[in-house]
Amino acid sequence: MHPRVHPAMIKLGRDMALARRVRSLSTIDMAERMGVDRSTLRRLEQGDPGVSLNTFAMALHALGLMDRLEGLVDRATDDVGLLTAEDAIPKRIARSRPASTRRTPAGPLGQKAPSQRAGDGAPASAVP
C-alpha cells in the first residue's frame, strides 16, 4: 500500500464515524441502514482498506452524503480535467510496457527481427 493511502483511509474512517455520531446514529442503526454487520461498519470506521467501495457508498447513502461520492472525481472540480477538452481525452489508454519487454517489428516478445540480405527481402537464414 502506498504510504499516503493508509493515513487517508484512517481519516476517512474517523470522518465517517464522526458524521454518524453527529446524526445521533448508533452503530446498530447505521449498520442496519447500510445493510451490513456492525463488524463491517467498525472496519470502515477504523479505515480498513479491505472494506469494499460498495460498503463505503452505502455508508454515504445512509448519512445522506451520496452527492459527495458522485462528485469525488467530477471533471468540473478536477483542475487537470478542466484544462483538457473532453473530446481530446482518449476513451482508452494502453498500458505502457518497459522497453525490455516491447515486441520487435518481426518477432515475438524478446526476439530480434531476423537479418535480411540486401536486395531480395529474404531472411539471411533462408539463403543456402
CATH number at residue 55: 1.10.260.40
Neighbours of 40 (CB within 10 A): 18
pLDDT < 50 regions, the chain = 107, 110-122, 124-128
pTM recorded for the entire structure: 0.62
pLDDT digits (tens, 9 = 90+) for 100-127: 665 555 545 544 444 444 444 445 444 4
Judge whether 22 lies within some domain.
yes
- In the three-class reduction of DSSP (H, G, I as helix; E, B as strand; rest coil), residue 54 is classed as helix
Domain count, the chain: 1
What nine digits make up the cell of 9?
A: 483511509
Please give the pLDDT value at position 92: 82
Average pLDDT for the chain: 81
Find out whether 16 and 42 touch, Cβ atoms under 8 Å.
Answer: no
